[in-house]
Amino acid sequence: MFDNQSDPAQVQHPLEVLADIEHRGSQDQEMLLRDSGTPWAELLAEYVDALNELASPGTGSSGFIATYGLDEGHAGGCG
């Protein structure tokens, strides 16, 4: 009864509507990025460097970087 796909009165599935909105939004963003004169590759590299600095803050006060092997992490679960 409602299986006819060519029926113009048929309502589009909500997930399809959301996917369409997401697709159009990403296309708009890509166009804006392409048309701007911003050096995105350089900005991305700086951003990644900043994240790395936050993730590993450096040598600290001792001058050594802490490294851990598989034996020291207790990854197997202590019994």
pLDDT digits (tens, 9 = 90+) for 19-65: 999 999 999 888 888 888 888 888 899 999 999 888 876 555 566 66
Residue 59 DSSP code: S
pTM (2 decimals)? 0.36
The residue written with tokens 């796909």 in the block is 5
Would you tell me how many other CB atoms lie within 10 Å of the CB of residue 4? 8
